[in-house]
């Protein structure tokens, strides 16, 4: 039986602290064993995980493999590199310290909390968990209540393979989160919206708990004239409409050079038909909106601008057609809030300086996309804008590179993870300085008379 009632939070935490104190999680072989168990747990429940994600979001199976179950690669990456990551790192000291050696030891933080969102409800829990395990921590997990099937399957699987004293899943909504946030953790890893991120950080501050905040925002996608149009169109369409646009790093809106706008818009329309057919509601490859609240929020955005293609909705299924929107004003709600759905506003610019100025007038985005083969333009956009990450001539793929840190900046988040950075955020870099006892120079000891000047 899964004994993870909310009333047991204090007891679970106490037991996790006790287990952490045994030192067992510090053993590298133990950590590798747990990562292997995690991988096995996922593989053995692949079908149940797929069913849960389909029940929550009607995610196409292919998308589940490439965006959710692909997390296995992150587990493998940690297993492969953990013995290197864990090694104390020697650092150089200046000549005056000739008798010293200095090194950095990565030590686990203790008991950590992971709070997840609903859009990639499996990946975005397991991915930080890989870092927490690799770094040698005990973990409490709170998945999103808005993807209840995935939340249940996570709770079920993790309880089957891990002791509660080591990894515990607490299901529930805002109230559960709030109760958890009253407790003292050694790190909080939160993925969700910017507004809730602030709530999490304020709660963490009460205990001086460090946080990683993986938040959202409006990720712009600039399209220059110097491109391979066909490839650009496919990559934008895929990145925007995957998971029905409910992706934190989806291109939120396009900023397109006026000279290429017509060709791009024509191409995007054709591409949508190629991907999802004339009736996307019948396509097995197109997901649904998570719930009625988000459906209503998105339908409201349809009032802004002029629909080029799409715009059809079916409330009973929470279906919103992939939609291209022209002539939006920059003050319309669709350009003021994160869209997080299958609506793509297309805004033209005559000079790249305008596009850059607009981006810089907005909160710093999680991702910035640029389609251009012009090296000078690439350099300029990189230098003149700030974002969590940049992906040139593609969309979303930056998320899948374990060796690239992933995270936001400013309003889009605090801290990075993936690969080694996941290990780092759940570790403390302990400085260790060691002197030898065979020699003791007296220059630093009192009496100080006659010892100045030193420099």
| Residue selected from 118, 276, 301, 319 as contacting ligand NAD according to rule CB under 6 A | 118
Strand partners, 306: 326
Per CB under 6 A, does 142 bind ligand NAD?
Answer: yes
Q: Please choose, out of 45-53, 112-120, 300-308, 355-363, the segment that lies near ligand NAD by the rule CB under 6 A.
A: 112-120
CA distance 245 to 221: 14
Q: Which of 248, 271, 338, 391 is catalytic?
A: 248
Span 234-273, contacts to ligand NAD by CB under 6 A = 248
Q: Reply yes or no: is the peptide bond before residue 447 cis, omega within 30 of 0.
A: yes
Whose Cβ is closer to ligand NAD: residue 20's or residue 340's? 340
Residues that contact ligand NAD, how many (by CB under 6 A): 28
| Residue selected from 28, 55, 104, 199 as contacting ligand NAD according to rule CB under 6 A | 199
Sign of the CA dihedral 128, 133, 134, 135? positive
Q: Which residue is nearest to ligand NAD (CB)?
A: 216
Residue 194 Cα to chain centre, angstroms: 13
Per CB under 6 A, does 123 bind ligand NAD?
Answer: no
CA distance 248 to 235: 16
Indicate the burial class of 289 (C-beta count within 10 angstroms; 0-12, 13-18, 19 or more). Answer: buried
* Interaction pattern, residues 151-190, with ligand NAD; x per rule: CB under 6 A: ----------------------xx--xx------------
Q: Please choose, out of 96-104, 212-220, 318-326, 349-357, the segment that lies near ligand NAD by the rule CB under 6 A.
A: 212-220
CA distance 439 to 364: 54
For 150-155, the CB contacts below 8 A with 24+ separation are 150/49, 150/52, 150/53, 150/56, 150/118, 150/121, 150/122, 151/121, 152/52, 153/45, 153/48, 153/49, 153/52, 153/122, 154/121, 154/122, 154/125, 155/2, 155/4
Whose Cβ is closer to ligand NAD: residue 224's or residue 411's? 411
* Angle between helical axes of 194-205 and 174-182 (0-180°, round to 10): 30
Per CB under 6 A, does 114 bind ligand NAD?
Answer: no
| Residue selected from 117, 128, 220, 239 as contacting ligand NAD according to rule CB under 6 A | 117
Whose Cβ is closer to ligand NAD: residue 106's or residue 387's? 387
CA distance 370 to 375: 11
* Interaction pattern, residues 345-364, with ligand NAD; x per rule: CB under 6 A: --------------------
Catalytic (active site) residue 214: yes
- Cβ of residue 409: shortest distance to ligand NAD, in angstroms? 11
**Beta carbons of 29 and 148 less than 8 angstroms apart:** no
Q: Please choose, out of 31-39, 144-152, 275-283, 444-452, the segment that lies near ligand NAD by the rule CB under 6 A.
A: 144-152
Q: Two tokens at 56?
A: 């929550």
Q: Two tokens at 428?
A: 């403390």
| Residue selected from 61, 76, 145, 326 as contacting ligand NAD according to rule CB under 6 A | 145
Catalytic (active site) residue 138: no
| Contacts to ligand NAD by CB under 6 A | 115-119, 124, 142, 144-146, 173-174, 177-178, 191-193, 196, 199, 214-216, 248, 338, 340, 366, 408, 413
């Amino acid at each position: 039986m899964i004994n993870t009632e909310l009333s047991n939070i204090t007891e679970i935490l106490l037991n996790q602290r006790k287990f952490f104190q045994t030192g067992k999680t510090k053993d590298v072989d133990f950590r590798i064993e747990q990562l292997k168990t995690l991988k096995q747990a996922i593989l053995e429940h692949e079908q149940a995980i797929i069913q849960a994600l389909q029940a929550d979001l009607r995610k196409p199976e292919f998308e589940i493999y490439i965006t959710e179950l692909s997390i296995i690669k992150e587990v493998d990456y940690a297993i492969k590199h953990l013995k290197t990551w864990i090694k104390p790192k020697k650092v150089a000291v200046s000549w005056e310290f000739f008798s010293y050696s200095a090194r950095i030891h990565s030590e686990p933080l203790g008991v950590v909390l992971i709070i997840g969102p609903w859009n990639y409800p499996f990946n975005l829990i397991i991915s930080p968990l890989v870092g927490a395990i690799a770094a040698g921590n005990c973990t409490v997990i709170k998945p999103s209540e808005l993807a209840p099937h995935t939340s249940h399957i996570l709770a079920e699987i993790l309880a089957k393979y891990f002791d509660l004293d080591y990894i515990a899943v607490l299901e529930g909504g805002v109230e559960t989160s709030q109760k958890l946030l009253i407790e003292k953790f050694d790190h909080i890893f939160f993925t969700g919206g910017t507004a809730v991120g602030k709530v999490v950080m304020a709660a963490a501050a009460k205990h001086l708990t460090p946080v990683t905040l993986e938040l959202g925002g409006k990720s712009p996608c600039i399209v220059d004239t110097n491109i391979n149009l066909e490839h650009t169109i496919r990559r934008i369409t895929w990145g925007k409409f995957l998971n029905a646009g409910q992706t934190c790093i989806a291109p939120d809106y396009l900023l397109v050079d006026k000279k290429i706008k017509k060709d791009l818009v024509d191409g995007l329309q054709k591409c949508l038909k190629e991907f999802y057919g004339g009736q996307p509601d019948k396509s097995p490859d197109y997901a649904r909106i998570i719930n009625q609240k988000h459906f209503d929020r998105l339908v409201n955005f349809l009032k802004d601008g002029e629909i080029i293609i799409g715009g059809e909705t079916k409330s009973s299924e929470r279906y919103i057609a992939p939609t291209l929107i022209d002539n939006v004003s920059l003050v319309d709600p669709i350009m003021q809030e994160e869209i997080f759905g299958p609506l793509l506003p297309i805004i033209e610019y005559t000079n790249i300086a305008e596009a850059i100025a607009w981006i810089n007038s907005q909160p710093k985005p999680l991702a910035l996309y640029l389609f251009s083969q012009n090296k000078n333009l690439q350099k300029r956009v990189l230098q003149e804008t700030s974002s969590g990450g940049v992906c040139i001539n593609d969309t979303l793929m930056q998320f899948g590179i374990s060796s690239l840190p992933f995270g936001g900046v400013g309003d889009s988040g605090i801290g990075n993870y993936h690969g080694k950075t996941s290990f780092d955020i759940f570790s403390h870099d302990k400085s260790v300085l060691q002197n030898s006892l065979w020699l003791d120079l007296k220059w630093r000891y009192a009496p100080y008379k006659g010892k100045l000047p030193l420099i």
